[in-house]
């Protein structure tokens, strides 16, 4: 009786019956023996006729047996195969020359499938990667087939019965020169590929369809790292900026990234690892930003979470310094911020006042400050000079008469810090000073901003 597709989710009894011992091999061998005997023992036309009939029967039964054996061969799986970097590039180049982005309908031969098996990327030198990478518009995901309800039903039927008797003996596999199967201790289920091995093909997807996120899931040792390595290697070959963040700091993945960059003719990846600062680069947290307030937020975020009001004041102190540096057209840096926080705001305030006076068109402000009576001027701290205090008073008197005073908001914040009690200021920013010292503990030549990492970068976490 033949089961309908509705009863088996697309799996008919013919397909399941094909996964059985090749009983046709016995009559094929008997027919071959009978043909040999007829040719040797019987002479004349009758012997030739009998031998020909037996040879025809042998060919028929042998073909039927081969169909059964061909379905059983993939049930034992295949040992991992390897694809070199040039071979991967050849696949991508062939895909780039084709206008069709759908999966090819042509099926590879059995010999090709056995030879290639499961593909794992390995490194090799490629000289023309830079010129070829720009042509690639598709992503190679590996070899596989579309999983349908019929495959799920077939897998269920196979797992419900012993499969070992269906696998070809090792002697027969060696006689047929088949690749080695999966061993009992190897990771992976050979049945998953066995039920669809005749449908496996290279899977390509257009890069335009990968604008969102990509999720790779699988159990331990299922091949997630191999898949990720392939995706990274292809991105490196295409000449794209690549940043790899690996919390596990896998040496194998790091080596694969370096090998892919070397094979594609690109510079060695820049490495960032908090535990080994002497072997990698340091990222400048102030290198790229969209708003000046982001710089203060990044620095204050490193403070202890229970800092409370101290953290808010530290953010304010850094933000005032950043705005002041921008106002005097100086690039904010960790070293400059540390100098301002530890040494005081006075030098920056003096530069900001000079720029504001110049923008207001007051060129003789230094003479006015010198002519002011210093006896009634009291600096906010012993470290502050009477001249700077007098300049602040002069600027405030002029700013009150103008509504469009240049840099009024920025200089107002600097004056607020200038008049703050220095002892209290030092205590409340004490938690900020170790953070700045830790940030600039490396040499400036090792620092790079995020905007400078335009090639290949590797980041490994120390696990802390």
392: number of Cβ within 10 Å = 23
Contact residues for 23 (Cβ-Cβ < 8 A; gap 6+): 65, 68
**Running DSSP on this structure, what letter comes out for residue 44?**
S
Helix and strand numbers, DSSP H then E, in the chain? 21, 9
Question: Nearest Cα to 64, choosing from 107, 17, 117?
Answer: 17
Name residue, tokens 């593909």: 119
Contact residues for 444 (Cβ-Cβ < 8 A; gap 6+): 335
Q: Of 42-56, 194-208, 229-243, give the range with the top mean pLDDT.
A: 229-243
Please, which pLDDT band fits residue 205 given cuts at 50, 70 and 90?
A: confident
Q: Please state the pTM of the whole predicted model.
A: 0.56
Q: What is the mean pLDDT of residues 387-394?
A: 92
pLDDT at 410: 92
pLDDT at 110: 43
As given in the structure block, the two tokens for residue 274 are 């908090």
Contact residues for 221 (Cβ-Cβ < 8 A; gap 6+): 187
The residue that leads in pLDDT, 445 or 129, is: 129
pLDDT at 114: 42
pLDDT at 401: 84
Please, which pLDDT band fits residue 352 given cuts at 50, 70 and 90?
A: very high
The residue that leads in pLDDT, 209 or 460, is: 209
CA dist., res. 62 & res. 91, Å (int): 36
Q: Could you read off the pLDDT of 219-262 as tens digits, one per residue?
A: 887 788 888 888 898 888 888 889 898 888 888 888 888 888 88
CA dist., res. 300 & res. 302, Å (int): 5
Question: Nearest Cα to 110, choosing from 198, 21, 15, 19?
Answer: 198
């Amino acid at each position: 009786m033949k089961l309908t597709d509705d009863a088996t989710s697309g799996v008919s009894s013919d397909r399941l019956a094909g996964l059985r011992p090749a009983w046709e091999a016995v009559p094929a061998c008997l027919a071959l023996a009978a043909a040999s005997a007829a040719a040797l023992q019987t002479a004349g036309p009758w012997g030739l006729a009998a031998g020909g009939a037996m040879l025809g029967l042998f060919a028929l039964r042998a073909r039927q047996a081969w169909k059964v054996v061909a379905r059983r061969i993939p049930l034992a799986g295949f040992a991992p195969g390897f694809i070199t970097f040039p071979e991967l590039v050849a696949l991508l180049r062939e895909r780039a020359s084709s206008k069709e982005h759908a999966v090819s309908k042509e099926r590879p031969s059995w010999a090709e499938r056995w030879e290639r098996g499961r593909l794992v990327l390995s490194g090799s030198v490629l000289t023309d990667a830079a010129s070829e990478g720009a042509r690639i518009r598709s992503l190679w995901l590996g070899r596989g087939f579309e999983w349908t309800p019929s495959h799920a039903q077939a897998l269920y039927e196979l797992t419900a019965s012993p499969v070992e008797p269906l696998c070809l003996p090792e002697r027969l596999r060696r006689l047929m020169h088949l690749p080695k199967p999966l061993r009992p201790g190897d990771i992976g289920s050979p049945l998953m590929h066995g039920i669809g091995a005749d449908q496996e093909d290279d899977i390509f997807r257009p890069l335009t369809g990968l604008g969102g996120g990509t999720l790779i899931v699988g159990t331990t040792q299922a091949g997630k790292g191999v898949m990720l390595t392939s995706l990274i290697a292809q991105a490196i070959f295409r000449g794209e900026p690549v940043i790899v963040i690996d919390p596990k700091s896998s040496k194998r993945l790091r080596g694969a990234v370096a090998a892919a960059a070397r094979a594609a003719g690109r510079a060695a990846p820049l490495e960032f690892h908090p535990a080994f600062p002497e072997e990698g680069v340091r990222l400048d947290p102030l290198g790229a930003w969209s708003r000046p307030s982001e710089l203060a937020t990044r620095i204050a975020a490193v403070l202890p979470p229970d800092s409370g009001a101290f953290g808010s004041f530290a953010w304010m102190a850094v933000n005032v310094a950043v705005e002041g540096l921008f106002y005097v057209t100086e690039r904010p840096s960790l070293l400059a911020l540390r100098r301002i926080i530890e040494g005081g705001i006075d030098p920056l305030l003096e530069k900001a006042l000079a720029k504001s006076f110049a923008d207001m068109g007051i060129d003789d402000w230094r003479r006015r400050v010198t002519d002011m009576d210093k006896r009634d001027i009291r600096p906010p701290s012993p470290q502050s000079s009477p001249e700077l205090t007098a300049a602040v008073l002069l600027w405030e008197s002029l700013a009150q008469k103008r509504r469009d005073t240049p840099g009024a908001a920025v200089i107002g914040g600097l004056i607020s810090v200038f008049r703050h009690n220095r002892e209290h200021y030092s205590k409340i920013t004490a938690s900020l000073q170790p953070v700045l010292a830790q940030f600039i503990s490396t040499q400036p030549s090792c620092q790079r901003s995020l905007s400078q990492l335009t090639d290949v970068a590797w980041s490994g976490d120390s696990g802390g």
